[in-house]
Structure 1
């Protein structure tokens, strides 16, 4: 497990997320990895101005289901961005 933050970014170079809505699809397979990535994505979006109410998370059993779930979120046409998190080892 990584102990160093490899996701250091310059906040000034990224847009404010206050006006956007996000869908996140997370694989439960390899949850030791994907759950931490999920939390990192949420922390980053909140740091960039998004509100918790603007972030919806959907958990699926494995990586195979990621595309289907993301497609279903796209069909809702309410999200500005869909983030997909999976880990195949």
Structure 2
């Protein structure tokens, strides 16, 4: 994964509504992503009342909950968070691939942007640095959400003209 994130556009989030889906598996790491994402959204002006959060058992359940939120048409963007860590098999890669495809289908099928914030790491140390350490993926996911939510609103206004 690249360390060269896009430049910050300084987007304002006032009035934007977000659905946030977070897995409970690997809770400490996912909570790090959640807290960092929520902090960026709040700093951009998104009210806490405009963020609806749901928790699911694990990353494999994240797409279903994201689908439910996106289908409700109440949100400008859905941010999906989870952490998959390798073990003795490649199960984490299989689940990560499945989740990634499913989240993209949710976005394309509903017209609501879905940010894939499911970390797939080979080791606990890799996951830790991305969720709680110097590589702030939670903040990156929130900034991507702000940008896509803003773009969605802009494009919808253009369609109504």
From the two aligned structures, give the one with the greater helix fraction: 2
Give the Å deviation of 1:14. 2.7
TM-score w.r.t. structure 2 length?
A: 0.48
TM-score w.r.t. structure 1 length?
A: 0.85
Unmatched segments (≥5 aa) in structure 2: 1-5, 86-161
Find the counterpart in structure 1 of residue 42 from structure 2.
Answer: 46
Instruction: State the Cα RMSD in Å.
Output: 1.7
The answer to whether residue 72 in structure 2 is matched with residue 76 in structure 1 is: yes
Structure 2: distance between partners of 1:76 and 1:50: 19
Deviations 1:21-80 (A, max 9, x none): 000000000011001110111110000011110001100000110000000001100000
Structure 2: distance between partners of 1:48 and 1:62: 28
Structure 2: distance between partners of 1:31 and 1:17: 27
**Post-superposition, which runs of at least 4 consecutive aligned residues in structure 1 deviate over 4 A?**
none
Unmatched segments (≥5 aa) in structure 1: 1-8
Higher relative contact order (CA 8 A, sep 6+): 1
Find the counterpart in structure 1 of residue 141 from structure 2.
Answer: none
Structure 1: distance between partners of 2:71 and 2:80: 15
How many positions carry a matched residue from both structures?
81
Alignment of 1:28-39 (within 5 A): 28-39=24-35
